[in-house]
Amino acid sequence: MPGFTMATNSQVTALSRRDLTKARNSAAEYNVAHAFESPIDLCRCPGVDAVFVATPNSSHVNNVMIAIESGKPALCEKPMGVNSDECSRMVEAARQAKVILGVAHIFRFARSITSLRERVAAGQIGRPVLVRSEFSFPGCTHARLWLTDAAIAGGGPIADIGIHCVDALRYVLRDEIVTVAATTASDKFSGNVEAAAVLSLSFARGTLGSVLVSTRAEYRTPLEIVGEEGVLRADNAFSVSDPIEIELRRGARVVDSEVVSNTDAYARQVDAFSAALEGGASFPVLGEEGWQNQEVLDAAYRSARTGRTETVRIVERTK
């Protein structure tokens, strides 16, 4: 909601929750005009031009399909679904209906990730050789109690926060992940999902990467790209509240640095979606991008089960 408040060209006009009383309370709290107890009723509201789907992961596909069938563009939270089949259904439905379907990969709109992407493209570190992205937070007391239920969440921290790492690395390198090997660990608090995981990645142009995720450690989000001619790193690359220092290193020295802020990332995401709906530039994170990330997650979970390195299917983009 703070992101929508900061946005310049959109307004929240309705929300839905399964409990109508809670929906009305939330609407009153945020000064939203309409409250509903179902996404169907929300999508029928004449004051709704587009829908942001922020429900638990397993309900994304049904809610997105309701929006599409109602002719409403949809922006779906990450992960897009709980498996790639759900993602393909959503993308194909949006294509047939000629409705915009975006995925809320918020860090594509973060200045830290954008700066790293531009610096790599400018050749500041030469050819990327190794990449590392980590994301952890203490999840045992998290308000989303369904995070330990695979039927609702689709997985543990691989699905919940590993998706941020996977998408950011694809975006920064402008390259696709082609194989994944995954090792996971669980404990008595993690239900039927993992509590921590390490993913080993290989990219189409030869870069090798690692993603480390956990819901049993303090909040931290370092990201590092090691190139033939230097290193780019940010110790808290995914922060949306604290300043992020990006360093360019050569040898043992920091040769350049900048401090950026991601506090407006949510507003930038909403403004970009609004612009696309009004015929401006295409939304930069269409459904195919969320689908491709889900293919990586699916391969990671296959690897965790089989103990083998798994190939990632590459999604065909429409022209």
The answer to whether residues 145 and 175 belong to one domain is yes
The answer to whether residues 85 and 170 belong to one domain is no
Give the CATH number, domain containing residue 204: 3.30.360.10
Residue 318 is assigned to a structural domain of this protein: no
The answer to whether residues 77 and 46 belong to one domain is yes
Residue 96 is assigned to a structural domain of this protein: yes
Helix/strand/coil (H/E/C) assignment for every residue in the chain: CHHHHHCCCCCCCEEECCCHHHHHHHHHHCCCCEEECCHHHHHHCCCCCCEEECCCHHHHHHHHHHHHHCCCCEEEECCCCCCHHHHHHHHHHHHHHCCCEEEECHHHHCHHHHHHHHHHHCCCCCCEEEEEEEEEEECCCCCCHHHHCHHHHCCCHHHHHHHHHHHHHHHHHCCCEEEEEEEEECCCCCCCCCCEEEEEEEECCCCEEEEEEECEEEEEECEEEEECCCEEEECECCCCCCCEEEEEEECCEEEEEEEECCCCHHHHHHHHHHHHHCCCCCCCCEHHHHHHHHHHHHHHHHHHHHCCCEECCCCCCCC
The answer to whether residues 140 and 14 belong to one domain is no
- The whole-number mean pLDDT for each consecutive block of 10 residues of the chain, a chain of 319 residues, reads 89 96 96 96 96 97 98 98 98 97 98 98 98 96 89 97 98 98 96 97 98 96 98 97 97 96 96 94 96 98 98 89
Q: How high is the pLDDT of residue 1?
A: 87
**Tens-digit pLDDT profile for residues 163-173:** 999 999 999 99
Q: How high is the pLDDT of residue 319?
A: 64
The answer to whether residues 160 and 223 belong to one domain is yes
**pTM exceeds 0.85, yes or no:** yes
The answer to whether residues 135 and 188 belong to one domain is yes
Residue 54 is assigned to a structural domain of this protein: yes
Residue 317 is assigned to a structural domain of this protein: no
The answer to whether residues 45 and 155 belong to one domain is no
CA distance linking residue 109 with residue 262, whole number of Å: 8
**Tens-digit pLDDT profile for residues 56-100:** 999 999 999 999 999 999 999 999 999 999 999 999 999 999 999
The answer to whether residues 67 and 190 belong to one domain is no
Which residues span the domain enclosing 232?
110-262+293-311
CB-CB contact of 143 with 256 (8 Å): no
Give the CATH number, domain containing residue 276: 3.40.50.720
The answer to whether residues 257 and 209 belong to one domain is yes
The answer to whether residues 301 and 157 belong to one domain is yes
Residue 319 is assigned to a structural domain of this protein: no
The answer to whether residues 136 and 256 belong to one domain is yes
**Domain count for the chain:** 2
- The count of other CB atoms within 10 Å of the CB of residue 143 is 5
Residue 138 is assigned to a structural domain of this protein: yes
The answer to whether residues 173 and 68 belong to one domain is no
CA distance linking residue 236 with residue 262, whole number of Å: 11
The two structure tokens encoding residue 194: 């993992």
Residue 316 is assigned to a structural domain of this protein: no
